[in-house]
Structure formats: structure tokens, C-alpha cells
């Protein structure tokens, strides 16, 4: 099986690469590339994202044909894709970080700044926080509810269809921290920085 981690110059993704390789051992071939043919032929794709919504969308669009290839992978061929952090946020129709930016439009919704309750909550939301699993997601197999995951973000994804939400975390409000829609999976937290529970989520994705 081939799993491709999309490298589109969106910041340091070394911890994502290392954790996937650690889980894969020799059973799964992990490729890190923006080569369109390699992405098309892979069984699963991981879309990481660090930095702002705007900078990540621009970085994707800067690689000729990459957005079309990802659309084909997800929407036409219905193969599994995991978005991490801004990788999840880009599923939205629109994001409001820096400036209004069009997203990939895979899951209807928007990405807005977390309401910090007039400074009552620090932004970015950094560190370990409990997740509340609200639906039986394939990537949460053998993950206990209220497990702690590692977060770094100031913006949240607000999907129109609440049925896609698989987990939330409590930080100023119930923030969406995981989604599942058919073959599309996303986590706002960083599984690659979330210790053994995070590695289990990566393993679950690779075993889909």
C-alpha cells in the first residue's frame, strides 16, 4: 500500500513524516511528494498544513494541477484523505484568516477565528486538551473518549452539516476538532504530536 504525504511547502512537516514512518514500519510505503502522478496512484493521501489558511491555499495553488489532482482523488475516485490542522481547515468553502480566501469546498462551512471571550482564552490555543468523541469515526477505533490530543491553532472550522463532526474540544466553546465525511477525514489537533493515542489514529487511517 502507498500513502502519500503531500509536500507543498506549507511549513515544517518532518514530525508528520516521522510519525507516519514510525507507524508504517515496513508494511506501508510512505511517499513525501507533490508529484501529481504519485498522488494519483497512491491508496491514501495525507494533507498536512501549518501557518495560515491563506498561505496554505496559496501554496497548494502555486503547484500547477495539484488542487485538481486532489479534487479528483477525493471527489471522483473517493479514496481516503486525512487533513491535519490547516489541512482540515482547507476542506471548508471559505476561510477568514488574514483575508477572505476560498477553500477546497469539500465540506461546506467556514473557518473563523476562535472567540476568545474578550481575552478570557489565550490564542493560539496551544497544548493538550481533551477530545469529546461525538460519533463513531473509523479513525477513532480503540481511542478512548476524553483522550488528550495536542493543539496549536487560532482558527476553527465550522461545518454547515453537524453530522460530519466526529469530535469536539472545549476551548471557549465546543470547537470542532475532527470530521469524517465518507472518504474524507480531518483532525484539528496534531496526531503526530499526540503521543501513543495520536499514533493509534495514524494507524487507524492507514488500516482503513
Question: Domain extents for the chain?
Answer: 2-206
pLDDT at 119: 92
Q: What is the pLDDT of residue 61?
A: 97
- Per-residue pLDDT of 135-184, as tens digits, reads 999 999 999 999 999 999 999 999 999 999 999 999 999 999 999 999 99
Active site residue 192: yes
Q: What is the pLDDT of residue 178?
A: 98
Tens digit of pLDDT for each residue in 29-39?
999 999 999 99
Confidence of residue 25 (pLDDT cuts 50, 70, 90): very high
What's the pLDDT score for residue 194?
Answer: 98
Q: Where residue 70 falls among pLDDT bands split at 50, 70, 90?
A: very high
Predicted TM-score (pTM) of the model is 0.98
Q: Determine the pLDDT at residue 11.
A: 83
> Would you say 80 and 44 are in contact if contact means Cβ atoms under 8 Å apart?
yes
Per annotation, catalytic residue among 56, 85, 177, 180? 85
Q: What is the pLDDT of residue 142?
A: 97
Q: Give the domain 2-206 fold.
A: Rossmann fold (3.40.50)
Is the predicted pLDDT of residue 189 greater than 90, yes or no? yes
pLDDT for residue 164 = 98
As given in the structure block, the three cell numbers for residue 138 are 473509523
Please answer whether residues 172 and 116 qualify as being in contact, where contact means their C-beta atoms are separated by less than 8 angstroms.
Answer: yes
Nearest to 205 by CA among 129, 109, 140, 142: 140
Written as nine digits, the cell of 117 is: 471571550
Torsion, Cα 182 57 175 6, to 10 degrees, reads 50
Residue at grid coordinates 509536500: 7
The DSSP 8-state label assigned to residue 133 in this structure reads E
**What span, in angstroms and rounded, lies between the C-alpha atoms of 68 and 109?**
20
The pLDDT of residue 10: 85
Amino acid at each position: 500500500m502507498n500513502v502519500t504525504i503531500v509536500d507543498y511547502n506549507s511549513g515544517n512537516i518532518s514530525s508528520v513524516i516521522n510519525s507516519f514512518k514510525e507507524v508504517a514500519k515496513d508494511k506501508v510505503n510512505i511517499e513525501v511528494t507533490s508529484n501529481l502522478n504519485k498522488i494519483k496512484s497512491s491508496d491514501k493521501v495525507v494533507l498536512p498544513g501549518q501557518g495560515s489558511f491563506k498561505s496554505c491555499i496559496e501554496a497548494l495553488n502555486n503547484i500547477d494541477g495539484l488542487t485538481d489532482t486532489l479534487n479528483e482523488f477525493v471527489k471522483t475516485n473517493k479514496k481516503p484523505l486525512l487533513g491535519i490542522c490547516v489541512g482540515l481547515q482547507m476542506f471548508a468553502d471559505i476561510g477568514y484568516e488574514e483575508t477572505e480566501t476560498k477553500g477546497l469546498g469539500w465540506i461546506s462551512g467556514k473557518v473563523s477565528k476562535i472567540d476568545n471571550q474578550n481575552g478570557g482564552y489565550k490564542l493560539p490555543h496551544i497544548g493538550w486538551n481533551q477530545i469529546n468523541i461525538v460519533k463513531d469515526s473509523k479513525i477513532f477505533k480503540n481511542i478512548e473518549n476524553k483522550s488528550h490530543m495536542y493543539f496549536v491553532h487560532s482558527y476553527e472550522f465550522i461545518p454547515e452539516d453537524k453530522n460530519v463532526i466526529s469530535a469536539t474540544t472545549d476551548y471557549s466553546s465546543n470547537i470542532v476538532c475532527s470530521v469524517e465525511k465518507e472518504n474524507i477525514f480531518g483532525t484539528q489537533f496534531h496526531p503526530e504530536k499526540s503521543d501513543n493515542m495520536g499514533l493509534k489514529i495514524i494507524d487507524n487511517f492507514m488500516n482503513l
